[in-house]
Amino acid sequence: MLLAIDTATRTAGIALYDQDGLHLEQMWRTGNNHTVELMPCIVRACDQQSLAPQALRAIAVSLGPGSFTGLRVGLSVAKGLALALDIPLLGVPTLDATAYAHCRELLPVCAVLQAGRQRLCVAFYQTISGKWARRGNYELMTPEELVASLKQPSLVCGEIDCRLAKALRITTPEQGIVADPALSMRRAGYLAEIAWKRFISDECDDPTSLAPIYLQRG
């Protein structure tokens, strides 16, 4: 069983996943209380599935971009569990997990996370020649810069607040197609599925060197 941990933003989540698929998934909005909320959620999830810690085969963790404190909490817990249980650790960029729900979308996909202070973490994804992949770098933008960057019809998903949704619908009604809120939500199950594919391919990350992804203005 693989345990996935996502504390990258105020949308937090955990999931349990194996060869049979998703066994448990929990997501919640947190007021930056990752430190006190995460471990009790993991314990309850394992108890609910009658799962002893020794039954875990891998740990997946969201790497960011995201909240400085949230990422540190998630990565610390994930590293601690992986080292204590001597099992693989797999890091997954947060925007990759955000966009993953739309990997069969024909349009380009723009994944968005709130970065605070009127800033957004953004990345673009698209299927080209049958291969789904990120196109370009992870970027830090203002809402206005995001709107201006949409030069072709694109599905925008992720942490889209009312202000950004309104700007997209008014300014770029043909280019900025806003995903419905339920389809926009970043799910720990997708994080787990991405990590599981890496795990069964015998991939893993070094717990001593795995670091969060932080974005800063140049």
Q: Please report which confidence band the pLDDT of residue 218 belongs to, taking 50, 70 and 90 as the band edges.
A: low
SS3 138: coil
Q: Which residue's entry shows tokens 């989540």?
A: 13
Q: Which two tokens stand for residue 70?
A: 């949230």
**91-145 tens-digit pLDDT:** 999 999 999 999 999 999 999 999 988 899 999 999 988 899 999 999 999 999 9
The single-letter DSSP state of residue 10 is: S
Instruction: Give the pLDDT mean for 74-96.
Output: 98
**11-56 tens-digit pLDDT:** 999 999 999 999 999 999 998 788 899 999 999 999 999 999 999 9
**How far, rounded to the nearest angstrom, does the alpha carbon of residue 40 sit from its chain's CA centroid?**
21
SS3 161: coil
pLDDT value of residue 169: 86
Q: What is the mean pLDDT of the chain?
A: 94
Task: Give long-range contacts, CB 8 A cutoff, 24+ apart: 160-165.
Answer: 160/112, 160/184, 161/114, 164/112, 164/120
More confident residue, 71 or 176: 71
**145-170 tens-digit pLDDT:** 999 999 899 999 999 998 889 888 88
More confident residue, 185 or 92: 92
Instruction: Give the pLDDT mean for 196-210.
Output: 97
pLDDT value of residue 40: 96
Q: Which two tokens stand for residue 103?
A: 């990997």
What stretches of the chain show up as alpha helix (H) in DSSP?
Answer: 34-48, 68-85, 94-100, 143-149, 162-171, 181-184, 188-200
CB neighbourhood size of 135 (10 A): 11
